Chain A
Amino acid sequence: MIDGEILTIGPGDLVPHVLQIKHDGYRLIQICATTTKEGYELTYSFGRGYEMAHLRLIVGPHAQIMSISNIYEPAFLYENEITDLFGVPIQLISPDYKGKLYRIEQQTPFK
């Protein structure tokens, strides 16, 4: 990956890409969700040294997205946060807080 690059991929390509990125020596830096007119944009940021590169998923509101917490353990916090705040259904997060990471009155406020 090129430093600063944002590579847009489909949801089905996420896990193979992330496996390759891990193999290339990157670590997970963050996962960020943004609400769009069509649904959501998820940006996965990875770092190696001072480099930072991103994978981006642009998905509809009901898209099934696989968790990457079995590849990168720290992903569980970001994924649970996205589930809580955006209502994005992410499959097989480990551990899955089932929408209870944040104790907030309004469910999925960014949805």
Chain B
Amino acid sequence: MATRSVVPFGPQHPVLPEPIHLDLVLEDEKVVEAVPSIGFVHRGLEKLVEKKDFHEYVYVAERICGICSFMHGMGYCEAVERIMKVEVPQRAHYLRTIWCEMSRIHSHLLWLGLLADAFGFESLFMQSWRLREKILDMFEVSTGGRVIFSVNKIGGVRKDMDADMLKSFVALFDGMEKELRILSKTFLNDYAVNSRLQGVGFLTKQQAHDFGAVGPFMRASGIDRDTRKLGYAAYPDLDFEPITSDVGDCYARTQVRIKEIFQSFDLIRQAAAKIPDGEIAVPVKGFPDGEHFMRVEQPRGEAIYYVKANGTKFLDRVRVRTPTFANLPAMLETLKGCQLADVPILILTIDPCISCTER
């Protein structure tokens, strides 16, 4: 009979800069069970809704996560706008879409770098992050910020992008696309990389459904669902289909994310070509009264913003169901049966964001 032992993973681990702990139950080198512990840095951002009025809370929502801060701000704004039946100008919808896709490119490039670092391919890590730096520069040019942008407000956005800026961004994305094609060959074809990713951490389509997986983690197991298809921001005007794979291993998750970066380049080009002239925000008067579940496709998957308002300037409740929170049960399932040495890579391939989870 195999020897059973429990190996702690985290909360400090070289692969994960954020704190999550797993008790890994092993039989020899094989994981048979994983029990998670979270809550090391719970920040109580949802509780802050009692102290900040519904306009001020946009700034809190943006601080849920430093990588998808724009999308958190936008998801919250869209929820309140739908409760208040605010008609956001179409140009603001397009600007939000462009910043959303830039956030996705930034997040996926960051993740690719972390993945390369996790399997010890340092030059690939540096190249991924060098490319990511260009997106951060574009954020700085268009919003003034590199992490927190504060461009969302209830009723639209605070900053515009003129035609010259959009043209220069599209040209920059063309160059980035060429560079990413070279990088992606290494991620997808290199023997050493493939040996760490292929056949590791399978999640079947049925498991992805049953355990509530979301985002690229779910789509890499064959479920073609992408919340952008629900039609918020300017996505109803853009042509795209969810990117999926039927394989369901770590390699498939890498492949899906790389393809999603190329898709984001395309979506930004479409949005830049179609963006209408006009206002970027409308004045919002009164207080929200009602409730709404707003669903947004973040880089890591579907996030749900539940807002309940009572007709005053303070909301009753804001609750954010983040993608990593939804992906944890499916991640625990994929860990069962894997080798101890594969655990860091496997955990990384769900692209966990503990900052979001510890909102």
Which residues of A come within 8 Å of B, CB atoms? 27-30, 32, 34-35, 43, 45, 49-50, 52, 54, 72-74, 76-77, 84, 95, 101-104, 109-110
Cβ–Cβ contact B326 & A103, under 8 A: no
Q: List 18 A-B contacts (CB under 8 A).
A: A27-B209, A27-B210, A28-B212, A29-B212, A32-B306, A32-B317, A34-B308, A49-B225, A74-B212, A74-B328, A74-B329, A77-B325, A77-B328, A101-B37, A101-B39, A103-B40, A109-B44, A109-B47
B316 at the interface (CB under 8 A from A): yes
Complex-state Cα separation, A65 to B327, whole angstroms: 25
Q: How far is the CB of B236 from chain A (nearest CB, A)?
A: 13
In Å, the complex CA distance between A95 and B329 comes to: 12
Min CB distance, B325 to chain A, in Å?
7
- B42 interface contact, C-beta 8 A: yes
Question: Which of A30, A43, A54 contacts B326 (CB under 8 A)?
Answer: A30
| Chain A residues near B329 (CB-CB < 8 A) | 73-74, 76-77
> Nearest-CB distance from B229 to chain A (Å)?
7
Residues of A close to B229: CB separation below 8 A: 50
Nearest chain A residue, comparing its CB with the CB of B330: A74
Q: A101 vs B293: C-alpha distance in the bound complex, in angstroms? A: 25
Closest residue on chain A to residue B325 by CB atoms = A77
Report if B211 contacts A (CB, 8 A): yes
B211 touches A74 (CB 8 A): yes
CB of A32 within 8 A of CB of B38, answer no
Interface residue B196 (Cβ < 8 Å from any Cβ of A): no
Query: Hey, which chain A residues are within 8 Å of B37, CB to CB?
Result: 101
B319 at the interface (CB under 8 A from A): yes
Q: Is B141 an interface residue (CB 8 A)?
A: no
- Please determine whether A50 and B225 come into contact, CB atoms closer than 8 angstroms: yes
